[in-house]
Amino acid sequence: MSSTVEAVARLGAWGAGLRWADVPDAARDRLALVLLDSLGVTVVGARQAEQRALARAWRPGPGPAPLVGGGTTTTVEAAAWLNATAMARLELDEGHKYARGHPAAHGLPAVLALAADLGAPGPETAAALLVAYEVAARFGRATTLRAGAHPHGSWGVAGAAAGCARLLGLPADGVAAAIDAGTGLPVAGHFASALDGNPVRDAWLGASNLSGLSAARMAAAGVARNTGTPAVSLGDVLGRFDPAPLTDGLGTRWDVRLGYFKRHAACSFTHPAADAALLVRADGLDLDAVEEILVETHSLAAGLGRTTWDSRLAALFSTPFVVAAALVHGTVDPAVSAADRRDDPRVRALAARVVLRVAPDLDARLPDERAARVTVRAAGAPSRVVEVPNPVGDAAHHPMAEGDVLALLGRLLDADTVRTVHAVATGLAESADVAPDLRRLAEI
């Protein structure tokens, strides 16, 4: 327990002391790109009928924080929750293979909502966003959840707490206390909810952002303490916890540079298989002649083999659906999982021929690689095998630059919206008061 207290104290001191001017250019540039992607996919999510219905049911009251793409401003708490769920709505949000989850979505909405309320300067907001990301990613590295647990809403609360505490200007012990309190507020979600297409999975990210805000405010009030909570909440209760990754390379390794952007609207575990399927499709393939599609993958993706689905979310967590959609449509954009297209008989028929299997040689390459090998067997033709080491968009495999992210958003949003999101994301760190800039996001 004492080692956890010490590690959280060091992390708190680092977060409280971080100055934007001292952050290396490469990390600053990458954070701007993460912010661009995050805000863009939040707008895409906010425009979905399900998210609009949720916002109406929420009846958000007036306030200073924008509902990104939602047409209004509201309270900090409502904005943090609803923007987080919109960001995750279509499985397009940025992720991190070493954290085994999504650091950005766990805390960036809370920090941005609080910054709009405080009228925070750009450098302070950028530093707080970076603290939120780095702390969340380190807690993801430090936590090994029990089998079957979903990562949303558990270790990432620490990042939301740290980022909000940093934005509130708390000293080192205050940031550490906020982190500790945040780790005492995790969600114990099961992966089956995602596989079943239950949107409660999105709500876990809303809960993370709201809990992080609460933890930071507890620390600001002096009613939070650093007592080693993550060792028992993330460790004894939810899995195993090793405090060493919290401080490994602190200040020299920037986890924000090691994440991945998504070009497919689907669970990241399906992406390598989708990329391989698209390569097969590009060479020409008679879909009617396909007899079997064998997808070999790593153990993290073992549970995504369902060949039936009854909702968009369930489809996005089905490797057979994603591979079949890629082969039929040549894309896995949100449109292919919408109600009018996800039951395409060609996709259903092809998905029924997909077999998912864990390959020991691919599993051994975790965590540096999330590989997939796709073998297509078709009548009258030799088997075709394509293997990819990581999904396109991973920092280590065809990484996306700003132009790539803008092109992705350009397929999903109108040009004026993309220009506004780009202007806010790239100009935020230089703004004297981020509130007016952020409120522009409510108007798009």
User: pLDDT digit string (tens) for 304-343?
Assistant: 999 999 999 999 999 999 999 999 999 999 999 999 999 9
118 and 192 assigned to the same domain: yes
Angle at 396 (CA atoms; ends 143, 102), nearest 5 degrees: 35
pTM: 0.97
Instruction: Tell me: do 196 and 254 sit in the same domain.
Output: yes
**CA dist., res. 350 & res. 290, Å (int):** 8
More confident residue, 381 or 252: 252
CATH number at residue 21: 1.10.4100.10
Average pLDDT rounded to a whole number, residues 13-34:
98
Average pLDDT over the chain, rounded to an integer: 97
Q: Do the beta carbons of residue 268 and residue 46 sit within 8 Å?
A: no
Q: Are residues 120 and 228 in the same domain?
A: yes
Assigned domain for 393 exists: no
- Per-residue pLDDT of 147-159, as tens digits, reads 999 999 999 999 9
Q: What is the mean pLDDT of residues 207-228?
A: 98
422 and 405 in one domain?
yes
Residue 302, pLDDT above cutoff 90: yes
Question: Is residue 82 helix, strand or coil?
Answer: helix
Instruction: Examine the fold and report which residue of 342, 361, 388 is the final residue of a domain before the chain moves on.
Output: 388
Residue 181: predicted pLDDT? 98
- The tens digit of pLDDT for each residue in 195-208 reads 999 999 999 999 99
E-strand ranges in 147-305 read 239-241, 290-297
- pLDDT of 1 > 90? The answer is no
Please state, in angstroms and rounded to a whole number, the distance separating the CA atoms of residues 78 and 329: 37
Region 27-50: what's the mean pLDDT?
97
For residue 356, give its domain range. 268-388
Q: Are 290 and 152 in the same domain?
A: no
Could you write out the DSSP letters of every residue in 195-218?
Answer: HTT-THHHHHHHHHHHHHHHHHHH
The predicted pLDDT at position 258 comes to 98
Half-sphere exposure at residue 332, Cβ-oriented, CA atoms within 13 angstroms = 34
**Mean pLDDT calculated for residue range 30-59:** 97
- Cis geometry, peptide bond prior to residue 272 (ω within 30 degrees of 0): no
Residue type, 423: A
Q: How far apart are CA 204 and CA 437, in angstroms?
A: 27
Give residues with Cβ within 8 angstroms of 141, minimum separation 6: 98, 99, 245, 248, 255
CATH of the domain at 301: 3.30.1330.120
Q: What per-residue confidence (pLDDT) applies to 2?
A: 87
pLDDT band at 96, cuts 50/70/90? Answer: very high
If one counts the domains in the chain, the total is 2
Q: Which of 345, 362, 388 is the last residue of a domain?
A: 388
- Render pLDDT for 337-380 as a digit per residue (tens, 0 to 9): 999 999 999 999 999 999 999 999 999 999 999 999 999 999 98
